[in-house]
């Protein structure tokens, strides 16, 4: 007698463990219970997959066992493999989400720190302006290279402060010499020819 039970079992597409229980139900009938388990699957839903139960005579089970159980066993094994793959991908997604959240939190903190630094520098410059220390106020202003989005505001403040400590020579303001009456250097001299 040649049994090909294990050859057929080896030919099935399964990645799980198969637990097979065989018991006599009556003198002529057997009950076969097949439970598919996959220890690599971390999803607890695998535990609600019921065993596959078959009942029949020895001849009936010999004739149709593999044709009847192949699809359900392969499906259960595939489902558990997919569950494990899904769980791994879900964990990876959680990690990625945590990393993205951490990255966006870090960017927000950096932006908030930069905004605070800008506001502090502007407040310091304004305080020095109130004290009449325009040169120091100009130096306390934030650098336009560090805050390109605030370049216009910084330059306006610089212009205001510069007018107090370094007035322009080319401004339209009249100077003292322009307001004085222009007097001729020489007076008229009467010269008689010789």
Site of tokens 């040649």: 2
Orientation angle between helical segments 58-130 and 151-165, nearest 10 degrees: 20
How many domains does the structure of the chain reveal? 2
CA distance 47 to 28: 32
Q: Which of the residue ranges 11-25, 52-66, 85-99, 125-139 would you say has the lowest mean pLDDT?
A: 85-99
Is residue 85 domain-shared with residue 122, that is, in the same domain? no
Summarize the confidence of residues 103-126 as an average pLDDT: 89
DSSP state of 156: H
pLDDT at 120: 92
98 found inside a domain: no
With contact defined as beta carbons under 8 Å apart, do 22 and 32 qualify?
yes
Residue with tokens 């004739």: 63
Once rounded to an integer, what is the mean pLDDT over residues 54-64? 88
Residue 140 three-state SS: helix
In the numeric block, which tokens belong to residue 88?
């791994």
Same domain, 134 and 81: no
Does 187 or 102 have the greater pLDDT score?
102
For 80-122, the DSSP string reads HHHHHHHHHHHHHHHHHHHHHHHHHHHHHHHHHHHHHHHHHHH
Does this model's pTM top 0.85? My answer is no
Q: Of 38, 73, 90, which closes a domain?
A: 90
């Amino acid at each position: 007698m040649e049994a090909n039970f294990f050859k057929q079992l080896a030919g099935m597409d399964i990645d799980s463990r198969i637990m097979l229980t065989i018991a006599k139900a009556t003198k002529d009938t057997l009950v076969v219970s097949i439970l598919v388990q996959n220890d690599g699957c971390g999803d607890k839903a695998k535990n609600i997959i019921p065993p596959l139960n078959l009942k029949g005579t020895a001849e009936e089970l010999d004739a149709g066992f593999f044709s009847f159980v192949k699809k359900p066993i392969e499906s259960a094994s595939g489902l558990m493999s997919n569950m494990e793959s899904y769980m791994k991908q879900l964990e990876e997604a959680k990690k990625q989400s945590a990393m993205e959240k951490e990255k966006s939190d870090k960017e927000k903190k950096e932006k908030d720190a930069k905004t605070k630094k800008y506001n502090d520098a502007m407040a310091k410059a304004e305080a020095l302006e109130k004290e009449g220390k325009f040169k120091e106020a100009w130096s306390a202003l934030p650098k336009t290279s560090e805050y390109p989005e605030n370049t216009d505001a910084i330059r306006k403040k610089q212009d205001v402060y510069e007018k107090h400590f370094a007035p322009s020579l080319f401004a339209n303001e009249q100077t003292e010499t322009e307001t004085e009456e222009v007097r001729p250097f020489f007076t008229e001299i009467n010269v008689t020819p010789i």
